[in-house]
Each structure stands twice: as structure tokens, then as C-alpha cells.
Structure 1
Amino acid sequence: MDLNTVLDVRDARRREPWRPGDAWLGGGTYLLSEPQPQLRRLIDLSRMGWDPLQLLPDGSLEIAATCTIAQLSRFGRTLDTAAAPLIEQCCRAFLASFKIWNMATVGGNLCNALPAGPMISLTAALYGECLLQAQDGSLRRVIAADFVTGAGRKALAEGELLRSVTLPARSLRCRTAFRQASLYGLGRSGALVIGALDPVDGSLAITVTASTVRPFRLWFPLAPTAAELRRAIDRTVTDADWFDDIHGLPAWRRHMTFHLAEQIRNELTRDGV
């Protein structure tokens, strides 16, 4: 779609004061998908030269905000860790063509803050940490599960930039389970639940996304029973937190979340309690 209100596209390497009507440009798949009448200038991040993916000395994985879904998918298939399959599963959860895969970025999916964003699901489930950079160059870190605060809302100040997301080495060693539900065969995610079993202490994390307006990561020091898991979800996710749109009513999303979470609990604990 033509953005006929945009008057200028600037290189992000040139530091310039942030102005009303500015927006960061990553892959542009969202910006060019619908009218953006409030925009006047795009700040292009494509030439920043950030490494898309880096395995750090401590074994953690740093994903640049400009890393494309295609790059993440290819890297995930070469990664020799227990949680590696989850990367591909979340990439495949996109309702997108290969053309979108080669342009859409991890950072863009997070910053759109749509409930069905699978990069939100991935980074929240693996206890990722977002690195944010302000206009004055100062940095701060926010847990990925807290970065999205509501449907279309995120923890970014005016002009602030999502620089990267880091997945801890311990999370990458977790055994994971993935469940997704949609109203249609090729529909947008109506519920997406991920489980991560820690090999060090046996703790279990259940992350609920797509069915809710923001991510919810529930942590259990010991594997819960079916009743304990259901009560925990009920206590944590209020009626107002269930998302409501054409892709699923709140009652259906809630039902599917309980159903998928129980499947994951059974898969990762194998106790059937």
C-alpha cells in the first residue's frame, strides 16, 4: 500500500531528533499493509549492520530486532538445543507467505503487539529479555512477557527502539511443547500455548498467548496437577484479558487455552494426573 502521507525516509545511522509522525522502519510488512495517515517520516533500520543472530559466550541467543523470520527459521534448524524445534514451530505459526517471511522482522512482530504475534509467544515462553534504546542512547531491559502490555500496546516510550531480544541459555535447554488453535485451517491463531520444562530444577512454565490481549507466563516450581493448572490460569487471566475479535470469541479462546494447556502439561510431565 502506498503511504502517501510519508514525506521522507531517513537512514537510522544518522542521529536526528525524533519528531511527531516519525516511525521506525524494519521490514515494513505492517506499515505497508494498511493506511498510516499519522506518519510523515520513516527511520530506516535496514542499514544498521546488526548481526541477525548471535550465540553469546554464555550460550544465550541474541536476536536482533531486524532479524527476519526467514533468517530465524534457518538458524533455528541448525541449533543444537532442546528448545530449537520451538523456533520453527513459532515461525510456522505466522499466517504469511514466503515473501513476508523474507521481509518481516522479529522486532516488528513484537512491536506490533498483536495478540497472535508468534514472536511474542516464542520470546515470552523462553523468558527472553528485550533491550530497548532511547533517543539519548541510554539502554534499558524489559522481560519479553512484560514488553507487550495489551492488544497493540507495548512498553516503548516515544522514539524508543527495540534493539534486540536475548534468549537465556538455560531456556534454550528446556524441553518444550507447542499447541495452536485457529477457527480456520489457515486462520490466525486464536490460542497459542507453549510449555517449557526446565532440566535443571524440573520447574514448568506455561505461556498463554493469542487468546489473551497480552502474554501470560505461569511458572510452577513443581509440575502442577490438572486442577492446579486450571486454577492458576483462572486466577491469572481475568475476564477482561481474553481477546475478542473476528478470529474467536473470548469464551472459545478461554476453553481452547485450558484444553491446550492440559495437553502440554500431560506431554511434558507424562503423569496424566
Structure 2
Amino acid sequence: MDLNTVAEILDARQPTPWRPGDAWLGGGTYLFSEPQPHLRRLVDLSRTGWTPVELHPDGSLEIAATCTIAQLSRFAQELTTTAAPLFEQCCRAFLASFKIWNMATVGGNLCNALPAGPMISLTAALDAECLLLSQDGLRRRVRVADFVTGAGRKDLAEGELLRSITVPARALTCRTAFRQASLYGLGRSGVLVIGALDPLDGSLALTITASTVRPFRLWFPLPPTAEELRTAIASAVADHDWFDDIHGLPEWRAHMTFRYAEEIRRELGETAA
């Protein structure tokens, strides 16, 4: 879609004072999907030259905000860590065309903060951390689970930039379990639940997305009983936290979340035992 209110496209490599009506341009799959009458300038990140994905010597994995879904998928196919399959599962949760795969970025998916964003699901489940850069050069780090604060809302100040997302080395060693549901075959995720079992201490993290307005990451020092798990989810997710739109009623989303959480508890709990 043409954005007929945009008068300039600026190169992000050239510092330019931020002003109202500016927006960062990554892949543009959202920006160009619907009218953006409030925008006047786009600051293009495509020429920054950031390495899409990098495995650091300490074992952590850094994903640039400009990394496309296709680039992340190709990189993950070479990963040999235990959690590697989760990357492809979440990339496939887009159910998107090859055009979207090759243009949509990991950073854009997080910054859109949609409940069904599968890159939010992936990085929150692996306890990843966002690196944010402000206009005055200050840096701050926020866990992905805290970065997305609601449907379409995120902890991002005016002009602040999501630079990268870092997955800790320990999370990559976790055994994971993935469950996803949609109301129809090629539909947007209505429920997406991920479990991660830490081999070092036997702890279990359960991450709930798509069915809720924001990510919920529940941590248990040891795999819980069925009753403990249900109680923890019911205590963490309030009635108003269940998402309600055309892709699923809150009651259905809650029912499927509890069902999938129990399936994951059994799957990973048996592994721990």
C-alpha cells in the first residue's frame, strides 16, 4: 500500500533528530499493510549492516532486530543445541507467504506486539532480552516477557529503537515442547504454549502467548503437579488478560491453554523423571 503522507525516507546510518511523525522502517510488512496517516518520515534500517544472527563465544545467541524470518529459519537449521527445533516451529507459526518470510523482521514482530506474534512466543519462552537504544545514545535491556505489555503495547519510548534480542546460552540447552491452535487450518494462532525444561536444575518454564494479551512466563523450580500448574495459570492470568477477537473467544483460548499446558507438563515432566 502507498503511504501518501510520507514525504521522506531517511537512512538510519545518518543521525537525524527524531520528530513526531517518524517511524523506524524494518521489513515494512506491517507499515505498508494499512494506512498510516500519522506518519511523515520513515527511518530505514535496511542498510545498517547488522549481522542477522550471531552465536557468541559464551554460547548466547544475538538476533538483530532487522533479521528476517527466513534468515532466522536458515540459521536455526544449522544449530545443534537442544532448543534448536523451537526456532523453526515458531517461524512456521507465521503461516506466511515466502514474500512475508523474506521481508518480515524479528524486531518488527516484537514491536507490533500482537498477541499472536510467534517471535514474541519464541524469545519470551527462551527468556531472551531486548537491547533498546534511545535517541540520546542510552542503552537499556528488558526481558521480552516484560517488553510486550499488552495487545499492541510495548515498553518502547518515543524514538527508541529495538537493536537486538539476546537468547542466553542456558536457554538453548533446554528441552522444549510446543503447542499451537487456530480456529482454522491456515489461521492466526489463537493459542501458543511453550514449555522449556532446564537440564541443569530440572526447572520448568511455561510460556503462554496468543491466547493472552501479553506473554506470561511461569517458572517452576521442579515440574509441577497438574493441580499446581492449573493453580499457577489461574493465579497469573486474570479474566481480562485472555484475548478476545475474531480468531477466538476468551473461553476457548483459556480452555485450550490449560489443555496444552497439561500436555506439556506431562511431556517434559516424564523427561525430567
What CA distance in whole angstroms lies between the structure 2 residues aligned with 1:264 and 1:77? 24
1:187-198 matched pairs, under 5 angstroms: 187-198=187-198
Q: Tell me the equivalent position of 1:160.
A: 160
Shift of 1:270: 1.7
- Work out the number of aligned pairs and report it: 273
Superposition CA RMSD, Å: 1.2
Which residue in the other structure is 1:80 paired with? 80
Q: Tell me if 1:24 matches 2:33.
A: no
- Hey, what does 1:34 align to over in structure 2? 34
**In structure 1, how many angstroms separate the alpha carbons of the residues matched to 2:55 and 2:223?**
30
2-structure distance, mates of 1:250, 1:28:
30
Counterpart amino acid of 1:127?
D
Give yes or no for the alignment of 1:55 onto 2:55: yes
Counterpart of 1:91, as a letter, is: C
What is the TM-score when the length of structure 2 is the normalising length? 0.99
Whether 2:117 is the aligned partner of 1:117: answer: yes
Paired position in structure 2 for 1:205: 205
Q: Which residue of 2 aligns with 1:66?
A: 66
Q: What code does the residue aligned with 2:242 have?
A: W
Moved over 2 A (4+): none
Give 1:95 shift: 2.9
Alpha-carbon distance in 2 for matches of 1:37, 1:76: 38
Instruction: Output one character per residue of 1:28-67: Cα deviation in whole Å (capped at 9) or x when no partner.
Output: 0000111111110000000111000111110000000000
Distance, in Å, in 2 between the alignment partners of 1:263 and 1:229 is 11
Equivalent in the alignment of 2:246: 246
What residue is the counterpart of 2:216 in the other structure?
216
Q: What SS class does the counterpart of residue 32 from structure 2 fall into?
A: coil
Query: Which blocks of at least 5 consecutive residues in structure 1 are unaligned?
Result: none
CA distance in structure 2 between the aligned counterparts of 1:70 and 1:237, rounded to whole angstroms: 33
Q: Which residue of structure 2 aligns with residue 147 of structure 1?
A: 147
Equivalent position amino acid for 2:92 in 1: R
- Opposite residue 70 of structure 2, the aligned amino acid is A
Instruction: Tell me the distance in 1 between the aligned counterparts of 2:58 and 2:209.
Output: 28
Secondary structure class of the residue paired with 1:270: helix
Q: In the TM superposition, what whole-angstrom CA distance separates every residue of 1:133-189 from its partner, at most 9, and x where no partner exists?
A: 000111000001000000000000000000000000000000000000000011100
- SS of 2:42 mapped into structure 1: strand
Runs (5+) with no aligned partner, structure 2: none
TM-score, normalized by length of structure 1? 0.99
CA apart distance, 1:110: 0.2
C-alpha deviation, 1:97, in angstroms: 0.4
Q: Which residue of 2 aligns with 1:255?
A: 255
SS in structure 2 at match of 1:67: coil
SS of the residue 1:183 aligns to? coil
CA distance in 1: counterparts of 2:57 and 2:78, whole angstroms: 18
2:95 and 2:57 mapped to 1: Cα distance? 34
Per-residue CA deviation, residues 112-153 of structure 1 (Å, 9 max, x unaligned), is 000000000000000000000000111000001000000000
Compute the displacement of 1:269 (Å): 0.8
> Partner residue of 1:173?
173
Instruction: Tell me the secondary structure at the aligned position of residue 121 of structure 2.
Output: helix
Match for 2:130: what amino acid?
C
| CA distance in 2 between partners of 1:5 and 1:265 (Å) | 50
- Percent identical across equivalent pairs? 79
